[in-house]
């Protein structure tokens, strides 16, 4: 009798772990899909303006681009933290 309950507990843990994997995979695919959508939006909506922006980026010093990239990465991590900690 005791052996059966141990098997049931093991089965429950296996199901929970697969549910967790499926949930994480779903979140990951959702995030990647949103990134692709928002990255592709300027190319679709206004390719001419995007080309002008790219020309301006080429003339921008690397130091400025690096600072902007770092600031955006920090902002992104803060938004993820706040979203998960306070809203999720």
Beta carbons within 10 angstroms of residue 50's beta carbon? 14
User: Confidence band (pLDDT; 50, 70, 90) for 86?
Assistant: confident
Task: Write the CB contacts of 49 (distance below 8 Å, at least 6 apart in sequence).
Answer: 42
Please tell me the distance from the alpha carbon of residue 65 to that of residue 48, in angstroms, as a whole number.
21
Q: Locate the domains of the chain by residue range.
A: 1-45, 47-88
- What confidence tens digit (pLDDT) does each residue in 8-67 have? 777 776 777 777 778 888 888 999 999 999 999 999 999 999 999 999 999 999 999 999
- Predicted TM-score of the model (pTM): 0.65
Alpha helices in the chain (DSSP H): 2-45, 47-59, 62-82
Predicted pLDDT at 48: 97
């Amino acid at each position: 009798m005791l052996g059966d309950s141990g098997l049931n507990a093991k089965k429950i843990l296996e199901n929970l772990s697969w549910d967790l994997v499926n949930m994480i995979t779903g979140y990951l695919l959702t995030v990647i899909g949103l990134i692709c959508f928002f990255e592709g939006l300027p190319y679709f909506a206004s390719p001419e303006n995007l080309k002008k922006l790219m020309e301006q980026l080429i003339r921008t010093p690397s130091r400025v681009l690096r600072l902007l990239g770092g600031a955006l990465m920090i902002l992104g991590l803060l938004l993820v933290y706040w979203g998960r900690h306070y809203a999720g």
